[in-house]
């Protein structure tokens, strides 16, 4: 099967950080949430996919093709949104669009104008005068206006207020109604993904913790609450991460059957959110 995005054993070494053995696959028509704490290696992975930095090992295939050998062809089919504004600040929206549009073979002016109108953006406004949310909307408008088959987004909702965040997510929700489009979405705000993601890849300290369907992830993990008297050297092993207070403990497990067998009804078991999974896995 041809995956939209296939990353195998990816490695990148820096002085103080190594991205090691990163592997995951994204099928056409799905959204993959790429989660992890700050500094986990999310942006580095995205930069490697976009060939902005060079890998030390491994393989990246986009639309089934090597991302360097077929770079131009691949990038023509990718829409990208980065965490910060990297556009020329002195230019207006229209000027920046004119520059970007000339590089894409399937640039759709009608589509761009639709989004500009929809997002309430003034084409004559200089990019430096836009708020962070408006800049993000402009990036999205560009990413969605050349019939891209894969949208890659690096922390698009980071630093946005809840209203803007919701708006951005609603836009993405509309985009995925088109089954042919796939989205690779990195974020540390995991609640953004609860609604829209099909797959979750969790990365921490440069390594993939898991890459699974979201429903499977949420089914596999559970939050366990109980008194600290239940914890000893053996029972602690059942938890991926633990938070202890004077009144009790809260822990994340991926082995619910064992927990039920050991603690019985002495503990309270709740569904874990993606945030719980990320926080407790990092705390390990």
Partner 1 sequence: MLGIIKRDLIILFSNKRERFFLIFYIPFLLFIVESYDSKFMYFVILVAYTYLLSITPFAYDISGRTRYIMSSLPISRKEVVFYKYLSTFFYFAITIVYAGIYLWIINALKIKSVDYFNVEMIIKAIPIVMIFTSIVFPAYFRFEPKIAQIVHMVVFITFFIGATNMSVVGEKSFVKYLGFLQGKNIVFLAIGMYIVSLLLSMKLYENRDL
> What's the min distance (Å) between Cβ of 87 and partner 1?
6
> Which residue do the tokens 């809260």 mark?
250
215 lines the binding site for partner 1 (CB under 8 A)? no
Among 2, 13, 39, 52, binds partner 1 (CB under 8 A): 52
Whichever of 71 and 108 has its CB closer to partner 1, that residue is 71
What is the size of the binding site for partner 1 (CB under 8 A)? Answer: 30
> Which residue do the tokens 């408006």 mark?
134
Among 4, 7, 78, 183, binds partner 1 (CB under 8 A): 78
How far separated are the first and last CA of the chain, in Å rounded? 36
d(CA 49, CA 152): 9
Among 10, 19, 32, 50, binds partner 1 (CB under 8 A): 50
Going residue by residue from 131 to 170, which x/- string records binding to partner 1, judged by CB under 8 A?
----------------------------------------
d(CA 199, CA 193): 9
> What's the min distance (Å) between Cβ of 148 and partner 1?
10
DSSP strand pairing (31-35 vs 241-244): unpaired
d(CA 30, CA 12): 26
Q: Which residues have a Cβ under 8 Å from the Cβ of 263 and sit 6 or more positions away?
A: 224, 226, 230, 235
3-state secondary structure of 256: helix
Among 21, 23, 51, 220, binds partner 1 (CB under 8 A): 51
Among 76, 108, 194, 205, binds partner 1 (CB under 8 A): 76
Contact 4, 190 (CB under 8 A): no
Contact residues for partner 1 (CB under 8 A)? 47, 50-54, 71-76, 78, 80, 82, 84, 86-88, 90-92, 95, 98-100, 102-105
């Amino acid at each position: 099967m041809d995956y939209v995005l296939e990353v195998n054993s990816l490695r990148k070494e820096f002085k103080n950080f190594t991205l090691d053995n990163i592997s995951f696959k994204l099928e056409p028509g799905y959204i993959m949430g790429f989660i992890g704490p700050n500094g986990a290696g999310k942006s580095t992975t995205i930069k490697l996919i976009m060939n902005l930095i060079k890998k030390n090992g491994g393989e990246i295939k986009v639309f089934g093709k090597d991302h360097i050998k077929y770079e131009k062809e691949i990038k023509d089919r990718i829409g990208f949104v980065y965490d910060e504004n990297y556009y020329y600040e002195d230019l207006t929206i229209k000027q920046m669009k004119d520059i970007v549009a000339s590089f894409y073979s399937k640039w759709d002016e009608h589509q761009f104008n639709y989004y500009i109108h929809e997002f309430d953006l003034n084409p004559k406004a200089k990019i430096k005068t836009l708020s962070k949310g408006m800049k993000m909307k402009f990036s999205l408008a560009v990413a969605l206006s050349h019939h891209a088959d894969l949208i890659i987004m690096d922390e698009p909702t980071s630093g946005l207020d809840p209203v803007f965040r919701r708006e951005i997510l609603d836009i993405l929700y509309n985009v995925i109604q088109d089954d042919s489009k796939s989205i690779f979405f990195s974020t540390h705000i995991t609640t953004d993904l609860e609604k829209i993601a099909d797959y979750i890849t969790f990365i921490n300290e440069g390594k993939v913790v898991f890459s699974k369907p979201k429903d499977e992830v949420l089914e596999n993990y559970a939050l366990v609450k109980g008194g600290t008297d239940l914890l000893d050297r053996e029972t602690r092993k059942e938890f991926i991460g633990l938070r202890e207070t004077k009144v009790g403990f809260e822990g994340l497990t991926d082995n619910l059957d064992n927990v039920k067998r050991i603690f019985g009804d002495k503990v309270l078991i709740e569904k874990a959110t993606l945030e719980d999974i990320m926080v407790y896995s990092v705390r390990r």
